[in-house]
Amino acid sequence: MTHPTLLIAPRQAPSPSLQAGGVFARSTPRLTLADAITLFVKRCRARSLSPKTIAFYGYRLDAFSRFLAAHGIEAAPNAITAAPIRDFLAEQRERVSAITASHSHVTLRTFFRFLVREELLDTDPMSRIEPVRRPRKVVQTFTPTQIEALLAACGRGFVGARMKAIIVTLLDCGLRVSELCALAVEDVCFETQTMRVQGKGSRERVVPFGEATRQALLDYLARRGELAGQRALFVNCYADALNRHGVHRLLRECGEKAGIRGARCSPHTFRHTCAVMYLRNGGDAFSLQKLLGHADLTMTRRYCELGQADVAEKHRLASPGDRFLTAVKPTSGRKRLR
């Protein structure tokens, strides 16, 4: 008995550019750098990274893409080696700054690790590239005299009360400017003297504040009054929420009145000042980490490295040499002749 011939259709190969789930195949030659960056950005959004972080990654990756195009280097991720990456970082360091080159290194390291983890690359070209050395700058802070001058320059009325509340809150709580602008009226609890702060990566933390901040906020809220439909704590004269640019401008203008010019009079200088003063007044690095909302102690340790003036003052008070000489100083007035 003869059996009919079975005609089996050959299995079709997957799309040359996509596998199931819309993920590019590792061996696919059509995976361009632009495609890989698109996947990376989607992954960042899926992880709920902040828009600023995603924009930061995108800007640095765009600079890398333009560098490869300008030098005629193939932009497929599986064709990129360590050599053009080193050339790009060297150009960034010389043409822009070491800090920008360091930011590019961090971005490329995160990007290529993502590609390897998703099995879009077999090897990570960043594994053989050392981090960019960046200069360590002394943390800039305000002096007590400068803080007094800033508070004296706040003025009167609603604008003055708001300015004083912003300055005292930044100084006492060490908030980032984005965290300050995101504060809502209901985030502040005067009974417990704490505020609920939305930090980086949507991490929420509770930050305590002192009596001076409590009084400054109450004085400001008495002038702000109830604003229908406006939840933002800090508003402008037209009852619109203050944004980061507005806070920077207000502090810059206040700094000019107080005789503090330049970019130094910024929200981050208050954050630095809060951290250093907290440690000077007996606070510890671990509670400071919680207060500032740092993910780890890396940045917090920098605040422990006080400025040179602090070192000199502390050495004057606790000089081993002076203490030793005081201890062995002869009590009689007799001198030994030589």
Buried b or exposed e, range 16-48, using 16+ CB within 10 angstroms = eeeeeeeebbbebeebbbebbbebbbeebeeee
Cα angle: 178, vertex 93, 76; to 5 degrees: 90
Long-range contacts of 35-44, Cβ-Cβ distance < 8 Å, separation of 24 or more: 36/77, 36/111, 36/115, 36/120, 37/61, 37/65, 37/111, 39/118, 39/120, 40/111, 40/114, 40/115, 43/114, 43/118
Residue in this structure with the two tokens 């079709």, named with its chain if needed: 12
Q: Which residue in 37, 2, 1, 31 sits closest to 18, CA to CA?
A: 31
Helix (H) or strand (E) holding 273: helix 267-280
Strands (E), 66-138: none
> Do the beta carbons of residue 9 and residue 22 sit within 8 Å?
no
Collapsing DSSP to helix, strand or coil, 211 comes out as: helix
Helix (H) or strand (E) holding 310: helix 308-318
Q: Which of the residues are catalytic?
A: 176, 200, 268, 271, 294, 303
